[in-house]
Amino acid sequence: MDLSDGNSSDELENLNNNINERKFIQSHKKVKPTIFSSQVEHERILNNKKEEEEQRKLKPKLEGVLRSLEKEQILNILCSLLDKNPKLSQDILSLIPKPTLKSVTLQLQAAEKKFNNSFPYTKWGADRSDYSFNRVKPHLIELLELTVNYLKYFTNTSNYGNELEREYPVVSFGYLEYATQLALRLPVWNQNYYNEITREYLFKEVGEAWKLVINEIGQRVQNGKVYSSSLVGEWMKSLIKYNNELNGKYGFAESVKLFKEKLGWLIGLYPTMGETSFMNSSQFFSLSFPSHPLNCHNATGLIGFRT
């Protein structure tokens, strides 16, 4: 009996030792990874701070380098980045300033000046020969592309976003007038074909844009939108002026007729049966409307315009 009791005591002691040993191992395992994890986190924070410091030091240097580059060099860099990572396109688009009527007209003025300055000098005056056309062709194409791209942008209501009610259609008509005047300033070439692919091409694009905007405004008026008679009168005056200068070609006669159908009642003008859509300037300009000049400085548009 005593031996049996002794064995029982030894077994109990061994059991207690095993339990204590397991508790020690378990507690040791808990402490070790905690210490290791905190060290890794500490090192990660230090590395992040070092990277941020390096970026702060690098940023002024990079900005200085970028400012010293030409426009074409910066474009090449951006294109290379986009080729490597197409997902950057959305980030870049979100950073591009939204075009305004003022910024666009300044850009077009610069393009038109570059085009005019590229003409070869002759002592006989303006040269409209084949040689002259080929000489100015790159700058002329650039001017036409810019004008048409912005034409599509400013006449598309979806590009105005939250500013639609405030800016449309004043900005659209403002750009339509500028684009029409620009087309009228384009040279008349000796070769009719050159006129077809430059002046006449732009006139047709602008003529279609006038009809597009008139239809859109007419729909808005039908839905209850109100425009002052002075504002509508100014639009009509401009349209009549350009229609007369172009003898009703390139869709301008149709635009005048459409304007009367959709908006004429706002200013006391109505289409008549069999009318030619021409109007003598004295017939319309004798009408009096309060002045409503376009304030280009306050007119803004939205981005992602190229279509």
Range of the domain at 32: 2-68
Q: pLDDT-derived band of residue 167, with 50, 70 and 90 as boundaries?
A: confident
Has residue 83 been placed in a domain?
no
The crossing angle, in degrees rounded to 10, of helices 88-95 and 71-84 is: 140
Has residue 158 been placed in a domain?
yes
The crossing angle, in degrees rounded to 10, of helices 199-222 and 252-263 is: 10
Task: Label residue 240 exposed, middle or buried (CB < 10 Å: 0-12, 13-18, 19+).
Answer: buried
Has residue 167 been placed in a domain?
yes
250-300 pLDDT, tens per residue? 999 999 999 999 999 998 877 655 454 444 444 444 444 433 333 333 333
171-217 pLDDT, tens per residue? 999 999 999 999 999 999 999 999 999 999 999 999 999 999 999 99
Has residue 33 been placed in a domain?
yes
What are the residues whose beta carbons fall under 8 Å from the beta carbon of 248, sequence distance 6 or more? 256, 276, 277, 278
Task: Label residue 80 exposed, middle or buried (CB < 10 Å: 0-12, 13-18, 19+).
Answer: exposed
CA separation (Å) from 248 to 26, 145, 173, 230, 278? 95, 24, 19, 24, 7
Contact by Cβ (8 Å): 148, 202: yes
Looking at residue 284, its pLDDT comes to 47
The structural domain count of the chain equals 2
How far apart (Å, rounded) are the C-alpha atoms in residues 80 and 63? Answer: 18
Has residue 44 been placed in a domain?
yes
Q: Are 196 and 286 found together in one domain?
A: yes
Q: Look up residue 27 and give its two tokens.
A: 């507690």
Q: Are 34 and 126 found together in one domain?
A: no
SS3 for 70?
Answer: coil
Task: Inform me whether the pLDDT recorded for 7 exceeds 60.
Answer: no
Has residue 272 been placed in a domain?
yes
Q: Are 42 and 148 found together in one domain?
A: no
